[in-house]
Chain A
Amino acid sequence: MNDTRRAGGPAPLEVRIARKAYRAASGGRLDVLDDVTLALPAGEVGALIGPSGCGKTTMLRIIAGLDRDYDGTVRRPAGRLAMVFQEPRLLPWRTVEDNVRLVAPDIDDAALTRLFDLLELSAHRTHFPRELSLGLARRAALARAFAVDPALLLLDEPFVSLDAALAVRLREELALLIDQRAVTALLVTHDLAEAARLADRVFLLSPRPARVLAEIPLRPARRDRSETALATMTAQLTERVAALAPGRTQK
């Protein structure tokens, strides 16, 4: 039994997954998620952090409605859903602009221009995805996600396999986009510095089958975090993770 519903108004994201299991090739059952409960208040950014293979992507797919084979309920805020996948997932046969317009046909030109300017894509509107570097393709995927003015934004390690400097720049751009609008977002990441920069709230997950081990609200508010505050927050998060998962080192 499952129930993916949209509540009215600016509602929180509520996830209650009793169990999610895959049938293993050997015939046995592989539990991926075990009693995962989390609530993300409207307008907040949550970060899911956990060891690799713990089921974070599975969770995101369930929340996105791509996987309906689970026990539990998911309530998404009313409005449009947007997702930034691990790979950019652009249509290779459409230009950057047409890729964005595919999901947001009614976007007005001024808004689109602002979005492309902020993500430094203005020079690449008419380029096809194969003409883009990975960094630009990820920017295009971000532009597509924000073009629909999502009520809920899901990000699955959006900056993985970018070099560190570029990842930092894209993170700044993403923070700016999130601050500009009231979007509720859930971010899967391995990178605690990324969580400290972007999130209002961190959910630490256990190894598979995943449960929420701890929920950590981050202070001060995202706009008021200085470089030193960010460093302290990252260090504190690292400590918490180490304490919860002894013997495991996290980036």
Chain B
Amino acid sequence: MLRLLSLVLFLALWSAGAAFAGARLLPGPEAVLAAILADARTGTLFLHLGATLARVALAFALAMSIGTALGILMGRSRLADRIGDPWLVVFLNLPALVVIVLAYIWAGLTETAAVLAVAVNKIPNAVVTVREGARALDPALDEMARVFAVPRLRAFRHVLLPQLAPYLAAASRAGLSLVWKIVLIVELLGRPNGVGFEIGVAFQLFDVTRILAYALAFIAVILLIELVLVQPLERHASRWRAGPA
């Protein structure tokens, strides 16, 4: 209820701002909605949303799996941590734009270059978060699994992963929002479709309505993913805890 009220307040402020600034600089909510519906009817909206979503999904999956593997390795092995840490500092501080531009120069304006560039931007964050989790693993449970000779894969699934779950959830949350923002830049710079490409075109035409329409449409998609995928998964993973986690 309070959330709804807060949303209404946001729309009211937006309308007031639109009335004050003029439709050219800030179109009102109904104009943006009309633009979304128009592009939805022709299908171009879904084409671009789909292209962006596919890139987000690929880059996210790639970054999370590599980031998780490296994070576990660095959290458990001091040697790996020592070797990997300087690399981590370099990649954490490498601007996204530099990675993207270099990827396009080295690998051409290809889909592979785009997805890799986004993944490379996200991997260091995932490593840092998962490494924290791997450092906090309970050695007592590890010993239990060793004494009872629980096979590695079973131990990974039932002993290790549940301990990392909160860290993986945090990395995914932060990851999803970071990845989709970088995907837009990648699309703006070197892809012929996607939300970022459309916003680039709209920028050249100074079409604020279109910029907002595509941004809001994609935010809605991310919200949907959060509601139907991320939150139920988190609830399932934390069902053994007392009350809301």
Residues of chain A at the chain B interface (Cβ within 8 Å): 64-66, 80-83, 85, 87, 89, 91-94, 98, 102-103, 105, 128, 130, 144, 148, 154
Contacts and interface: CB of A to CB of B under 8 A. Distances in A.
Contact of B150 (A65, A94, A102): A102
Contact of B147 (A65, A91, A94, A105): A65
B240 A66 contact: no
B149 A81 contact: yes
B213 to A, nearest CB: 43
Nearest to A80: B149
Instruction: Determine chain B's interface SS by DSSP, over half rule.
Output: helix
A178 B202 CA distance: 78
B149 A91 contact: no
27 contacts: A66-B143, A80-B148, A80-B149, A81-B148, A82-B147, A83-B147, A85-B143, A89-B140, A89-B141, A89-B143, A91-B162, A92-B240, A93-B162, A93-B237, A93-B240, A94-B158, A94-B240, A98-B158, A102-B154, A102-B159, A105-B154, A128-B240, A130-B240, A130-B241, A130-B242, A148-B148, A154-B147
A162 B150 CA distance: 29
B146 interface: yes
A81 B154 contact: no
A89 B148 CA distance: 12
Contacts, number: 52
Contact of B159 (A82, A87, A91, A130): A91
A103 B150 contact: yes
A83 B158 CA distance: 19
A135 to B, nearest CB: 19
B34 interface: no
B144 interface: yes
Given A83-B147, A89-B140, 10 more contacts: A64-B147, A80-B148, A80-B149, A83-B144, A89-B141, A91-B162, A93-B162, A94-B158, A102-B148, A144-B148
A154 B146 CA distance: 14
B179 to A, nearest CB: 28
A102 B154 CA distance: 8
Given A80-B149, A81-B148, A82-B147, A87 B140 contact: yes
A66 B143 CA distance: 7
B244 to A, nearest CB: 15
B170 to A, nearest CB: 17
A144 B150 CA distance: 12
Measured as residues with beta carbon below 8 angstroms from the partner, the interface class of chain B is: 10 to 19
A65 B144 CA distance: 11
Contacts of A148: 148
Contacts of A94: 158, 162, 240
A75 B159 CA distance: 28
A83 B146 CA distance: 10
Nearest to B147: A83
A82 B147 CA distance: 7
A4 to B, nearest CB: 13
Contacts of B140: 85, 87, 89
Nearest to B139: A66
Contacts of A144: 148
Interface in B142-187: 143-144, 146-150, 154, 158-159, 162, 165
Given A93-B162, A102-B154, A85 B148 contact: no
Interface string B223-245: 00000000000000100111000
A154 B147 CA distance: 10
Contacts of A65: 146-147
Nearest to A94: B158
Contacts of A98: 158
A126 to B, nearest CB: 11
Nearest to A67: B143
A187 B165 CA distance: 36
A212 B49 CA distance: 74
The 6 A-B pairs at the shortest CB distance, nearest first, are namely A103-B148, A93-B162, A93-B240, A128-B240, A89-B144, A83-B147
